[in-house]
Amino acid sequence: MTNEHYLRVSYFVVALVSLGLGVAAYRVLRRPFTAICETLPGKSHLSTWKRTLAVSLTMAALLGFLSVSYRYCGKSYAEIVNDRSYLVQVNRNQIQATAESIVYAVFGWCLVIVIFLVIARKRRQSPGDLD
Amino acid sequence: MSPHFIVFLVSLVVAVVVLILTDRLLCPGLRGLLEDVTALPAATEFYIRAFGLAIVFIALAAVFGAHPDLKSDAHFMEYAWAVAAALQDVFQDLVIVLLVYVALITVLMASLRRKR
């Protein structure tokens, strides 16, 4: 496999892997997240929240992937393609950035869930006021 | 097999062992605390899963982010140093994630305990 071929294949394979990591994170959190949303007042927003979780986690994964540039240190295209170890290193950096972005997004959602739980508790304490 | 791949593989295996140990040590207590604070099984499950995701992804990021500088004729101890450097990143990032998670749980406790 030539370096040019490796560059093309690896770029799109790593993009798919990043997307897959985002989807996997969403699938792990989906069920408890849905159950928490069901305790909130206003059931009509349930699908909106679920979609927001899905979009935010997959977008975070893609953001991490896209945040890594091949043109670091002003390398030309020929220099980039000629250096196979540099191509592998960039692929690894892309996966690293993807994983870190997903962690940031998960922590963001943990904070959102704190707010949800406070609202749900208020609702339990005074059910008539918030419904 | 290239030296980089060997270091990557060994780092990955050790990181997985560290993750399993961290999970086994922290999860039972964390689950009890969350059940007590949230009083909602779904919320407990969400935070436990978020914790699992966070430590797995941060360890993965640290292992993938390590770039050992090794030649093919490197000595055994050079491999050991390269693995140690990769594991340093794993432990450092894990500690940061654990601190952020503790801060999150503190916010959760402060928000929910007050209302009892």
pLDDT at B73: 82
pLDDT at A127: 59
To the nearest whole Å, the CA of B45 is away from the closest chain A CA by 6
Overall number of domains in chain B? 1
To the nearest whole Å, the CA of B32 is away from the closest chain A CA by 17
Residue B52 buriedness (CB in 10 A; 0-12 / 13-18 / 19+)? middle
Q: What is the pLDDT of residues A87-117, one digit of tens each?
A: 999 999 999 999 999 999 999 999 999 998 9
pLDDT at B87: 93
The label of the residue with tokens 């097999």 reads B1
Question: B111 to chain A: which residues are within 8 Å by CB?
Answer: 114, 117-118
Domain coverage including residue B28: 3-113
Q: What is the pLDDT of residues A22-56, one digit of tens each?
A: 999 999 999 999 999 888 877 778 888 899 999 99
Question: Could you write out the three-class secondary structure of chain A?
Answer: CCHHHHHHHHHHHHHHHHHHHHHHHHHHHHHHHHHHHCCCCCHHHHHHHHHHHHHHHHHHHHHHHHCCCCCHHHCCHHHHHHCHHHHHHHHHHHHHHHHHHHHHHHHHHHHHHHHHHHHHHHHHHCHHHHC
Q: What is the pLDDT of residues B24-48, one digit of tens each?
A: 999 999 999 999 988 889 999 999 9
Please give the C-alpha separations between residue B66 and each of A26, A104, B83, in angstroms, as whole numbers: 26, 20, 9
pLDDT at B39: 85
Q: Give this prediction's pTM.
A: 0.90
Q: Which two tokens stand for residue A109?
A: 């959602």
Report domain extents, chain A: 3-130
Question: B40 to chain A: which residues are within 8 Å by CB?
Answer: 36, 39, 117, 120
The ipTM estimated for the assembled molecules is 0.88
